[in-house]
Structure 1
Amino acid sequence: MRAAIVGAGIAGLACADALRAAGAKVILFDKARGIGGRMSTRRATTPRGEIAFDHGATHFTARSTDFRARVARWQADGCARAWPDAGQDAWIGIPTMNAPLKHMAQGHDVRLGAAVTALSRTDAGWFLHRERRRSGPFDIAVVAIPGEQAAPLLSLHDFGMARAAMAAHSRPIWSAMFAFGQPLGTTSAFIRGAAPVVCAVRGNARPQRAAAEHWVVQADWNWSEAHLADDPAVVCDLLLSELGALIGEPPPEPCFAAAQRWMFGQPSGSELGHLWNDAIGLGACGDWLTHGFVEHAWRSGHDLGAAIVAARALAGVER
């Protein structure tokens, strides 16, 4: 079975793992330059040296049996560790948040910088279209990207899937990254904020991170929407002031500041879990089909992969 997956975040990689375990040949296509999705890490050159900012998901939980087993394997392989500062069941990637996803990507054929603009289907199978390039044929195609981006790819082939994707509404999130020449006046590693800040994370308090004082501050959805069109420098200034309010004193002038706008930072979510049309071999997975967290995104991809394997195995027996 030849499978193409659009999106190499945790949902797409979880689906790829399940398909590969059943003997499928899988290729993943992602428009980004690196693995991670919203578990991404941004490396920056600062006056304090190179710092890797975990500027997406600050941590993840592991509560279901299957995902706990997956996380246990990451822990055994040295790419994840419990981080109780964020809660009793909180975990982080080691040495960066995207390390578990890089681990998942090992052994997969992942094509980065490959933005898929359309899907087409012929008697030969599925084809993926990129700028001046076409890849295929594939027996199945899986769309593992945010609902707003998935809808145009699905709309010509399964209107029910496209309608579900169009019903998804993602809220933006601004994340600001700061490096300082001196420690801030707090020993906290993780501060849960009140509006407009969701949390502030002291990166150098996390295991195997750069020693230089550095922080990530994440704004809430409402504030991020209100400041959606702001210049990143303005966002940095505003969230730096909010960081000062959290720690109870004005922070020093940062030696590095940058901001990332996550346009699809938090999806509205649904109870669908995943989507699969066995008649044409088309599926969709991602956190927009669940509840927007790392574990749920993994579950969506894992369950879709298992559903595809079961459907195709049954079809093979019947034939």
Structure 2
Amino acid sequence: MTTSSKTRAKNASAPKAKAARPLGLHVAVVGAGMAGVVCARTLVQAGHRVTLFEKSRGLGGRMSTRRTEFGGFDHGSQYFTVRDARFEKALRSNATSVVRPWSASTVRVLDEFGHVLASAPPPTEPHFVASPGMNALVGLWAQPLAANTLLDTRVTQIERDALHPEQWQLRTEDSAGGLQVLGGFDRVVLAIPHPQVHDLLRVSGLAPELRQALAPVHVAPCWTLMVAYPQAMQPGLPHLGPQWNAARSTHHRISWLARESSKPGRDPIERWTIQASPAWSTKHLEDDAERVKAKLLKGFAEITGIRATPTFAVAHRWRFAQTQTPLGKSHLFDKALGIGACGDWCLGHRVEDAFVSGLEMALELA
């Protein structure tokens, strides 16, 4: 056998090299609230490919805005503050078109009869809102992700990819009952409330240690009432209700009230968002929405003196609203599995907590 023949034989018997995989990862991000969108956006900026899943019809999570014929309601997050330098940089660099300062200097502490117990101290930091609604900020940051965002898509199970066992596939269901399986994911990030993280991993038979780490976290629910009084816009009528625009209350049902029309960039029709206390919301979590509406309307009238019947009144239940006991770190990540979890519940209940959690989850992967 000649030297060239020996070389050809040796090469033929050698194992063939695997085809080079793309340098970037393909990441599934489940949940399109602030944490999920920031995580997905950061990964895309780092050169990775992301598919974003959201079970609702719109983006934002608790930064959602309810649109009605009378104007919008920020029925989740009411405003945000800025403490982290990275959050400030992100807002200054690409969100100045939607972010507006909101003066909350009129906030008072009230008793259940609407009496002022004490003036709230002047805010030590600026308060901001997104315009024309709180969901505008998440929507702006999600624009580069639009082509790979699946709305109205609930992830029901995570499992190994049938064709590539080193990767993951997700089973999904839409609101019409349509089922789908999407695969080829190198990493999976769950940017959803911690009980949903736990349940999805349990159903999938995955990450028992990560599930155990969620045990200390406690997030309280919140019933929110939205009311509108278009009759207050009629000529000759006096200003409807109190002179203040927002209040923290010690009322046994209500902990927060805000006049939506006082926020910059909002419709002028008199509208209020009323949020029940964590304790009351927990006690009445499974109550009928109409019963909750009646009780919160009564409390609202006691505090504000507004006893007129609203033209519009709707109660919304947030099962997971305000973090009482956070995880204590920005995110969770099982490196062996390539599965992580993030959300405001990791650090607290502020909008900025969600931003930091999503950012640091992405940096872990990038």
**1:281 lines up with 2:338 in the alignment:** yes
Tell me the residue number matched to 1:82.
Answer: 101
Q: Which residue of 73, 76, 85 corresponds with 1:53? A: 73
1:171-208 alpha-carbon deviations (Å, 9 max, x no partner): 11010000112242222221121133221110111111
- Hey, what's the Cα distance between the residues in 2 that align with 1:213 and 1:222? 28
1:141 correspondence with 2:188: yes
Q: How large is the RMSD of aligned CA atoms in angstroms? A: 1.5
DSSP-derived class of the 1:137 partner: strand
Matches of 1:90 and 1:119 in 2, distance apart? Answer: 39
Measure the CA separation in 1 of the matches of 2:222 and 2:139: 24
TM-score of the pair, normalised by structure 2: 0.79
- 2:184 match: secondary structure: strand
For residues 286 and 145 of structure 1, what CA distance do their matches in structure 2 show? 6
On the 8 A contact 1:74/1:80 being kept in 2, the answer is no
- 1:92 corresponds, among 94, 108, 129, to 129
Equivalent-residue separation in structure 2 for 1:80 and 1:250 (angstroms): 31
Residues 113-165 of structure 1: per-residue CA shift (max 9 Å, x gap): 00000101242411111132101111111111001101122232211111123
Residue 185 of structure 1: aligned partner: 241
User: What amino acid is aligned across from residue 224 of structure 1 in structure 2?
Assistant: S
Q: Which amino acid counterpart does residue 169 of structure 1 have in structure 2?
A: H
SS in 2 for 1:84: coil
* Stretches of structure 2 lacking an aligned partner (at least 5 in a row): 1-24, 106-122, 174-178, 233-238
Give the Å deviation of 1:75: 4.3
* Number of the residue aligned with 1:204: 261
How big is each residue's C-alpha offset from its partner over 1:229-262, in whole Å with a ceiling of 9 and x where there is no partner? 2222222222222222322x24311111000010
- Larger mean Cα displacement after TM superposition, 114-123 or 28-37: 114-123
Alignment partners' CA distance in 2, 1:70 and 1:251: 43
- What's the CA shift for 1:79? 1.0
Matched, 1:130 2:172: yes
How is 1:1-319 mapped onto 2 (pairs within 5 angstroms)? 1-45=25-69, 50-76=70-96, 78-85=97-104, 87=123, 88-108=125-145, 109-122=148-161, 123-131=165-173, 132-155=179-202, 156-180=205-229, 181-182=231-232, 183-195=239-251, 196-247=253-304, 249-267=305-323, 268-309=325-366
Contact 2:95–2:140 at 8 Å: present in 1 too? no
1 CA distance for matches of 2:334 and 2:195?
19
Q: Which string of whole-angstrom CA distances, capped at 9 and with x for unpartnered residues, describes residues 3-41 of structure 1? A: 100101111111112211110011110100101100111
- Distance in 2 of aligned mates of 1:282 and 1:275: 8
For 2:91 and 2:103, locate their aligned partners in 1 and report how far apart those are by CA, in whole Å.
Answer: 15
Percent identity between the aligned chains? 35
Question: In the alignment, residue 113 of structure 1 is paired with which amino acid?
Answer: D
What is the SS of the residue equivalent to 2:104? helix
Structure 1 runs (4+) greater than 4 angstroms displaced = none
Write the distance in 1 (CA, Å) between the matches of 2:263 and 2:272. 11
Q: Once structures 1 and 2 are overlaid, which stretch shifts more, 54-63 or 236-245? A: 236-245
Q: Find the aligned partners of 1:41 and 1:187 in 2 and give their Cα distance.
A: 24
Task: Determine which structure has more spread, i.e. the larger CA radius of gyration.
Answer: 2
Letter in 1 for 2:345: W
SS of 1:63's equivalent in the other structure is coil
With structure 1 as the length reference, what TM-score do the two structures score? Answer: 0.90
Unaligned runs of 5+ in 1: 310-319
